[in-house]
Structure 1
Amino acid sequence: VNMAHREIPLFVFVLLGLSSAEVWSITESEAAVKTPGESHRLTCTTSGFDFGGSVWNWIRQTPGKGLEWISVVHTSSIPIYYSESVKNRFTISRDDSSSKVYLQMSNLKAEDTAMYYCAEETH
């Protein structure tokens, strides 16, 4: 297989939650297909959360495998942590003014093929 031309599908997830007390939603960016070495940015747009006071994570699920935590960004963007599998290639960031979380992915690899999710961390 010529890895230079192998396509990497990146899938995304949309979540809408309803309860008697609140309405919240998470909408992630469109699915994309990339080739190894390319870059891509995922966007997670939220509403109904105390965004500025929340800790946000990106996780992924590769085909046929379990969930893998990728990265976390705490309030005020400090601290930030990454899994070893994406360290120095992926960058998480947040924009509290627009309630968005981003995942900038660089130097994509075939093993990055996955469904990507953003998630609010609650305790």
Structure 2
Amino acid sequence: VKSQISITESGPGAVKPTETLELTCKVTGASLTDSSKIWAIHWVRRTGQKQLEWLGRIKYDETKNYAPSLQGRLTLSRDTNKGEVYFKLTGVKPEESGTYYVAKETQHKIITKNMYIKFI
């Protein structure tokens, strides 16, 4: 029987401009360090009428990559014991209001849809 991997995002319903947006992604069914199951966790957002915008990722080995536009404001981290990945964006701007998504990437570069979304 194949174990099912699920991801759930949680965070505040709203934050004010200049504040910090903190989101948590809970992963169950696989370890964050198991590259055969989870290559990376990605964060994406859709603001206004814009297309999806990739924000960053944290890989199984804790390597982090960020969108150039968010360098210095976005921090990704994780707690492998809890199976949680953390998203922290400082100094949020009104135009960054929208829907924030989390997705997992497998070793074969297949990205699955988010399980849950939150608005700021």
Distance between the aligned counterparts of 2:2 and 2:49, measured in 1? 36
Computed over aligned residues only, the root mean square deviation of the Cα atoms, in angstroms, reads: 1.7
Q: Which runs of 5+ in 2 are unaligned?
A: 109-120
Match of 2:69 among 82, 85, 93: 85
Normalising by structure 2, report the TM-score.
0.76
Distance between the aligned counterparts of 2:42 and 2:80, measured in 1? 14
Offset at residue 38 of structure 1 (A): 0.5
Q: Which segment drifts farther, 50-59 or 94-103?
A: 50-59
Instruction: Please tell me the residue identity of whatever aligns with 1:110.
Output: P
Instruction: Please tell me the residue identity of whatever aligns with 2:95.
Output: E
Normalising by structure 1, report the TM-score.
0.74
Report which of the two has the higher share of strand. 1
How many equivalent residue pairs?
Answer: 103
Are 1:58 and 2:39 an aligned pair? no
Offset at residue 31 of structure 1 (A): 4.2
**Deviation per residue, 1:19-45 (Å, 9 max, x gap):** x73322211114421221111210001
Report which of the two has the higher share of helix. 1
Structure with bigger gyration radius: 1
Q: Which segment drifts farther, 26-35 or 68-77?
A: 26-35
**Deviation per residue, 1:7-26 (Å, 9 max, x gap):** xxxxxxxxxxxxx7332221
Q: Which runs of 5+ in 1 are unaligned?
A: 1-19
Equivalent position of 1:114 in the other structure:
98
